Structure 1
Amino acid sequence: MDMAHFQDGSDYCYSEYFEAPGTVNVGWLGNGMSFPRYPPSEELLSLIWQYTQFSVARARGVHYRDLCTSARCVEERDGLALLLGAAEMRVFGSEGVIYAAPNMLYHYVRVHHYQPPEAFVRALQEQPAPPDPFYFERLSALGLEWSEALVYTPSMIRPRLRPD
């Protein structure tokens, strides 16, 4: 499954089922795209990890990342290993802005040093985040379903066909 690539701040249009007024894209990266880079702080990684543990807009397949040599993306933090690339996350900003990012964002920041926009980072720092019940209430008010992220287990390793 190929992932769409969008410029930061552009209107969200990946799926009409998950659109909400004021939703903009953040972190939809692809091979050959230029993007700002800066080594992340532990605080930023921790904030993003909170969102990574909960999936919004789950897809039917897993995105095979194209920024790395390995196809699957498994990230581990605090003893929890998650399979990324099959869902999105939402971060609520100020003044009605909603940021939509692939759940691969944690990997992009940690490994590729992608530097998210400052307004997005402020939203991570200032707005209610999962597992705060108010965060989930806001998702529900938009008609967005959520679930816990896919926990990676060794049984997930199996032969697969990768599209060329």
Structure 2
Amino acid sequence: MFYEDLSNYCYYLKTPVATVRNVGWLEKDKPYATGEVLDGFLTKLFSIILGNDIVDAQVNRIRSAHPCSLSDCGTLGIEADGRKDSLGAAEIWIPSKDGSDFFAAPSMIYHYVEKHGYLPPKEFVDAVMAFDLAKPYKAQDIYLEEIKGHF
């Protein structure tokens, strides 16, 4: 499913959510920005996707995984310290750097950056780098609040 970067979130909703912006919803044959991300960005994004005891940035989990839509990469996952997760099986929601709104991205964004050279918008990169993995955060609660009235 393709959404233009920084467009308002509307995944299966009747009306867009102005406080949530799309990032990394890429599809084959649709152009996307490429380039180098900041040092440490992929490591931080990896940690956000996996989460920890107090951080869960994932929403809309599904029982299967959406494959890479850019090429035939097969089923993909990430793993660290005995914890693993499938890429393409959820979205991640990350608060903006100033906390005024949110970014919604497929968890597959990690693969798109790492293997396909996708360069997310600066605002998203800044939000990822500013994300505090030591502060309680439950994205599903935020998701449920933000989508109210958009069905």
Instruction: Find the residue that maps to 2:129 and give its secondary structure.
Output: helix
Deviation at 1:60, TM superposition (A): 4.3
The aligned counterpart of 1:106 is: 110
Aligned: 1:72 with 2:75: yes
Deviation at 1:64, TM superposition (A): 2.2
Q: Counterparts of 1:1-164 in structure 2 under 5 Å?
A: 4-16=1-13, 21-53=18-50, 54=56, 55-77=58-80, 80-93=83-96, 94=98, 96-129=100-133, 132-133=135-136, 135-136=137-138, 139-143=140-144
Please identify, of 21-30 and 63-72, the stretch whose mean Cα deviation from structure 2 is larger.
63-72
Amino acid at match of 2:3: F
Q: Is the 8 A contact 2:93 2:104 kept in 1?
A: yes
CA distance in 1 between counterparts of 2:7 and 2:45 reads 20
Relative to structure 1, the CA distance from residue 85 to residue 142 in structure 2 (aligned partners, 3 Å threshold; closer, same or farther) is closer
Amino acid at match of 1:5: F
Aligned alpha-carbon RMSD (Å): 2.5
Amino acid at match of 2:130: E
Consecutive unaligned residues of structure 1, counting only runs of 5 or more, are 145-164
Amino acid at match of 1:11: N
TM-score where L is the length of structure 2: 0.76
CA distance in 2 between counterparts of 1:107 and 1:45 reads 9
Q: Is the 8 A contact 1:40 1:110 kept in 2?
A: no
Please identify, of 80-89 and 53-62, the stretch whose mean Cα deviation from structure 2 is larger.
53-62
Number of residue pairs the alignment of both structures matches: 137
Provide runs of 4+ in structure 1 moved above 6 Å: none
Please identify, of 54-63 and 109-118, the stretch whose mean Cα deviation from structure 2 is larger.
54-63
Q: Is the 8 A contact 1:24 1:99 kept in 2?
A: yes
Instruction: Find the residue that maps to 1:91 and give its secondary structure.
Output: strand
More contact order relative to length (CA 8 Å, sep ≥ 6): 2
Q: Is the 8 A contact 1:8 1:27 kept in 2?
A: yes
